[in-house]
């Protein structure tokens, strides 16, 4: 019986990918990394520490500069997608202004997404120190 309980517990841990999408702390997967949902005006505000387990998100000064490289990869992928989509829908090969407008619009619209998920990708998959640890998920929130 004890054993069965353990197994059901295992399955209640949130998945890595879902936690990343939700912007949860990479260590406990419970605390939010950001103060507000993705498309709100306050979405750029990031918490300095995890409210649940106390993990310091900026583990060293300049840590989030690395997120710029991730963000750069995102932007390149989005611009290529936006321009290919524009070609498929309009078959326009004459006007560079059309593509320029689409590219600028895409960059603006995707900016909050890039900002947030470049950091999420950095912390979840490019920082080996930030691994999920069950004990932090199970631990009660400190008062």
Contact positions toward Zn ion, by CB under 5 A? 25, 27-28, 31, 50, 52-53, 55
* DSSP structure string for 69-120: HHHHHHHHHHHHHHHHHHHHHH---S-HHHHHHHHHHHHHHHHHHHHHHHHH
Q: How far is the CB of 47 from Zn ion (least distance, A)?
A: 10
Residue 98 makes CB contacts below 8 A (sequence gap 6+) with 86, 90, 92
Our CB check for Zn ion shows the closer of 61 and 142 to be 142
Smallest distance, Å, CB 54 to Zn ion?
7
Q: Minimum distance between the CB of residue 133 and Zn ion, rounded to whole angstroms?
A: 9
If the CB atoms of residues 50 and 70 are measured against Zn ion, the closer one turns out to be 50
Q: What is the nearest approach in angstroms of Zn ion to the Cβ of residue 49?
A: 8
Q: Are 92 and 98 in contact (CB under 8 A)?
A: yes
Of the two residues 24 and 102, which places its CB atom closer to Zn ion in the complex?
Answer: 24
What are the two backbone dihedrals, phi and then psi, of residue 34, each rounded to the nearest 5 degrees? -115, 155
Residue 37: C-alpha distances to residues 22, 44, 112 (Å): 9, 9, 10
Taking the least distance from each CB to Zn ion, the nearer of 109 and 134 is 134
- Nearest Cα residue to 119 out of 41, 32, 12: 32
| Residue 35 or 101 with smaller CB distance to Zn ion | 35
Q: How far is the CB of 22 from Zn ion (least distance, A)?
A: 13
């Amino acid at each position: 019986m004890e054993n069965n309980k353990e197994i059901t517990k295992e399955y209640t841990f949130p998945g890595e990918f879902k936690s990343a999408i939700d912007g949860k702390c990479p260590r406990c997967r419970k605390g939010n990394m950001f103060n507000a949902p993705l498309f709100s005006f306050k979405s750029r505000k990031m918490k300095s520490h995890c409210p649940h387990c106390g993990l310091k998100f900026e583990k060293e000064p300049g840590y989030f500069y690395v997120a710029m490289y991730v963000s750069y990869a995102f932007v390149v992928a989005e611009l290529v997608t936006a321009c290919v989509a524009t070609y498929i829908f309009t078959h326009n090969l004459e006007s560079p202004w059309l593509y320029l407008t689409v590219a600028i619009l895409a960059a603006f619209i995707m900016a909050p997404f890039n900002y947030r998920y470049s950091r999420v990708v950095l912390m979840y998959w490019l920082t080996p120190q930030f691994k999920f640890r069950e004990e932090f998920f199970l631990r009660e929130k400190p008062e």
